[in-house]
Amino acid sequence: MTLPDLSAFDAVVYDLDGTLVDLRVDWNDAASDAAAVLRNAGVDADSLDLWKMLDAADDAGVRDDLERELAAHEREGAWLSDRLPLADHLADDGVPSGVCSLNAEDACRVALDVHDLSDHVDAVVGRDSVATRKPDPEPLLTTLERMAVDPDSAVFVGDSARDEVTADRAGVAFRYVDGGPTGV
């Protein structure tokens, strides 16, 4: 794994899954449970991916129920997660650090606790912490605000094109964890 050079920045915000840890989530099982929540609300979710299911849950008024289902899967995956090499940089970087993730905030906190990283993180923002989710810039900007850091002095490190778009929209420098995107 090639680690990004982060030495030019006064603060670092990390994506979680695929960047600091590898959550062991059965996403097919999570999607199946999310679809069941929507079906119970009268929504046909058969052709929807998880992100569209979240939007459909908003429209159907069952977002909290769907979030509970997804967060349960993510928490379980956090307990079983694997620590990735960049996590060692987080523990040793000596600058303000945060986590901005598409995972539920409490699942992020579980993963950080499991891998003894919580004491090195100044702010955690998950998909359920603010009204929008990546690639909207609000989650990243909220993370930086909670860290009391200006966007122009920070870098966002992630593993997906969605992370890169988030950074661009927030006016924050971006680095891939391993030289290029792994997903959307």
Residues assigned a catalytic role: 15
Crossing angle of helices 63-79 and 50-60, in 10° steps, is 150
The structure tokens 């840890």 sit at 21
116: left (phi over 0), alpha (psi -120 to 50) or beta: left
**DSSP secondary structure string for all residues of 73-95:** HHHHHHHT-EE-THHHHHHH--S
Dihedral of alpha carbons 114, 119, 124, 128, sign = positive
Give the end-to-end CA distance of the chain in Å, rounded to a whole number.
Answer: 20
Q: What angle do CA 8, 12, 16 make, to 5 degrees?
A: 140
